Amino acid sequence: MDVVVTGGAGFIGSNLIRALLVEDHRVRVVDDLSTGSLANLEGVRQDVRVDHEDVRDIAAMRRAMDGAETVFHLAALPSVARSIEDPVRTNGVNVDGTLVALMVAREAGVRRVVYASSSSIYGDVPTLPKHEGMAPAPRSPYAAAKLAGEAYCQAFTRVYGLETVSLRFFNVFGQRQDPASEYAAVIPRFVTRMLEGERPVIFGDGGQSRDFTYIENAVGACMLAAAAGPAAAGEVMNVACGARTSLRELVAMLNATLGTELEPEFAQPRAGDVRHSEASIDRAAELLGYRPTVEVPEGLQTTVQWYAGALAGRP
């Protein structure tokens, strides 16, 4: 099957590509490398076609999607903090880019588009677990842009018959996640600092919690979403483990894994961050047959091993 992965040189995309290649799919990657890296495709670069293009470029997207059956639209400018600093660019890539992807997919006769959304659209509503029937309450331009992308996906399904499935990812972590970015996610930041004997920095008091989701679970959900029956078309669903871990607990788990006793440092909370996040994954279980196959402790051990190897191989 011919498959397009936008954002395929990024964290989730590069892991997804490896799973697609195992199943002998023909994979095309569209990535402008603004946040992704060809280093993430090491070992598989020769097995995929890479188009170094912006997802907002209609002509480039038409070339990429010609003859494709499935599109995984993962390209985005990530980070709540980045969106607060630059909401216009965030909207351009995350909303306009999604609209172009959907429009071209429809023109090309693509069967299904799997869209990477975000748990951030729920905002800081205290109700737990977060479920898809809740009213969205985005607290950042990033969250608002992801919600707009979902709305466009559902509109294209209803109006044009283009099958779409939107996956609300909850705090995905694992190998190939960039720890060096100013906007790096918490787990790669913690892991790489602690591997070097440095104390992790927590923004806030550490009581905030997240439904951390190992990358293998996210990749599995993408594959299931592409293959699911027509009942999944036009639907939005959470992808997570259905449990939450506080940042203090996360530090303790990493200390146990590393054999260290590093106490966290604390800094001022960041604007736009939510206090608690935990998902109901019932809808994904019903429509996709999804269930998490790797829980947080096991995922952390694998992640630590990968970063340890990456740091050891660093010049």
The answer to whether 183 and 222 are in contact (CB under 8 A) is: no
Give φ, ψ of 53 to 5 degrees: -140, 160
Q: What is the dihedral of CA 240, 246, 252, 258, to 10 degrees?
A: 40
Per-residue pLDDT of the chain (315 residues; tens, 9 = 90+): 999 999 999 999 999 999 999 999 999 999 999 999 999 999 999 999 999 999 999 999 999 999 999 999 999 999 988 999 999 999 999 999 999 999 999 999 999 999 999 999 999 889 999 999 999 999 999 999 999 999 999 999 999 999 999 999 999 999 999 998 877 899 999 999 999 999 999 999 999 999 999 999 999 999 999 999 999 999 999 999 999 999 999 999 999 999 999 999 999 998 878 899 999 999 999 999 999 999 999 999 999 999 999 887 754
DSSP assigned state of 262 = P
The answer to whether 114 and 70 are in contact (CB under 8 A) is: yes
Query: Which residue among the candidates 115, 122, 142, 214 is catalytic per the annotation?
Result: 142
Cα-only R_g, the chain = 19
Q: What is the torsional sign of CA 97, 119, 250, 220?
A: negative
The answer to whether 156 and 106 are in contact (CB under 8 A) is: yes
Is-cis flag, bond preceding 230, omega within 30? no
Residue-level pLDDT at 315? 46
- Whether 142 is a known active-site residue: answer yes
Give φ, ψ of 282 to 5 degrees: -65, -40
**Domain spanning 186-208+244-274+303-312: which CATH class is it, in words?**
alpha beta
* CATH number of the structural domain 2-174+213-242+276-293: 3.40.50.720
The answer to whether 5 and 23 are in contact (CB under 8 A) is: no
Asked if the domains 2-174+213-242+276-293 and 186-208+244-274+303-312 are classified in one and the same CATH topology, the answer is: no
Helix (H, G, I), strand (E, B) or coil at 215: helix
**What residue spans define the domains of the chain?**
2-174+213-242+276-293, 186-208+244-274+303-312
Residue-level pLDDT at 184? 81
Q: Hunting for tokens 């604390």 — which residue is that?
A: 266
